[in-house]
Amino acid sequence: MMNQVLTLGLVNCGQYQSCGECIGEEGGNDGDPYCGWCTLDARCTRYEACPFPDESTRWLSYNALQCVSISDVHPDHRLPYQETEQDITITVQQLPALKASHQYQCAFDSYQVNADIVTANTVMCVSPPARELPTIPGEADHVTLTLSIVSTETGVSFVSTDFISFDCTLLKSCSSCVTSPWSCDWCVYDNMCTHDSSSCQPGETVVIGENNDVGFGNKGQSYCPQLLATSERFFIPVNIPSGYSLLANNLPTEQTKV
């Protein structure tokens, strides 16, 4: 039998499927000391297996303070379904610098658009046009897309977050409208939920949504028109006009329709 010398690899960086698993969740020295996160490839590798690992944030070592992540979307990661093609500014922690011949793109699910680099850690892109938004399903009031940043250098989606497109008009009651997670308001006379209270009739009573940061005044479900519960039983005779009194709150004053 011939003597043989075998070289065994003792490091398996590929076993780590996320940046957090690769370099640790807490920052500091809690990751695998033999591995690092190859940012634009979105995979855990040895130093020499990542392209341009010596360039800042291209390869995050086990003692890096944080992973690549999206820390902010401005004006918001939630926009009304009717407001399409809006400028979105995305702040990305640990965003690598690109080679001159490459650029970043924003991907909203399968729809991709080129991004402009604003600062060293922010990019700006335009949200999808109406034709690229998926239909809001069934009884839902919103649809969630995955907003990803892609480099043309690798074609890999290397960091992502949720992007939500909501439709206030699908909420058919005042209470469901103003307690929704979205910035929806209730037009009392129009009996309509909207993301833009200026679309209500002039001078109309508006109940401001609880999650509308710019609203003030009649804010929240307690201002919704409502019938009060009563223990009284009503017997209504057939074909005989009858009058009944009901207790209610927040009924609007009568106005003249224009």
The verdict on residue 193 lying in a domain is yes
Query: What average pLDDT does this structure show over 73-86?
Result: 95
Q: How confident is the model at residue 142 (pLDDT cuts 50, 70, 90)?
A: very high
**Residues 75, 158: one domain?**
yes
Query: What average pLDDT does this structure show over 124-129?
Result: 97
Percentage of the chain modeled with pLDDT above 90: 68
Query: What average pLDDT does this structure show over 168-185?
Result: 96
Of 196, 170, 171, nearest in space to 183 by CA: 196
Q: State yes or no: pLDDT of 171 exceeds 80.
A: yes
The two tokens of residue 180 are: 């929704």
> 202-223: per-residue pLDDT in tens?
888 899 999 988 766 789 999 9
**Residues 94, 161: one domain?**
yes
Between 216 and 153, name the one with better pLDDT.
Answer: 153
Q: How confident is the model at residue 258 (pLDDT cuts 50, 70, 90)?
A: very low
Q: State yes or no: pLDDT of 111 exceeds 70.
A: yes
Res 9: pLDDT = 56
Query: What average pLDDT does this structure show over 3-24?
Result: 79
**Residues 177, 229: one domain?**
yes
Res 4: pLDDT = 72
Q: State yes or no: pLDDT of 153 exceeds 80.
A: yes
**Residues 44, 113: one domain?**
no
Query: What average pLDDT does this structure show over 122-147?
Result: 96
Res 29: pLDDT = 58
107-111, 119-123, 231-235, 238-242: the lowest-pLDDT one: 231-235
Res 28: pLDDT = 56
Residue type, position 244, single letter: Y
By the 10 Å C-beta count (0-12 exposed, 13-18 middle, 19+ buried), 251 is classed as: exposed
**Residues 118, 186: one domain?**
no
53-62, 134-143, 227-236: the lowest-pLDDT one: 227-236
Domain count, the chain: 3
The two tokens of residue 212 are: 């509308």
Average pLDDT, the chain: 89
Identify the domain containing residue 45 by its residue range.
Answer: 13-61
The verdict on residue 2 lying in a domain is no
Q: Which of 123, 140, 166 is the last residue of a domain?
A: 166
Task: List C-alpha distances in Å: 132 to 135, 165, 205.
Answer: 9, 12, 35
The verdict on residue 3 lying in a domain is no
pTM for this entry? 0.83
Res 27: pLDDT = 56
* Residue carrying the six token digits 């929704």: 180
CA angle 99/102/106 to nearest 5° reads 125
Q: How confident is the model at residue 248 (pLDDT cuts 50, 70, 90)?
A: confident
Cβ atoms within 10 Å, residue 244: 7
**Residues 82, 46: one domain?**
no
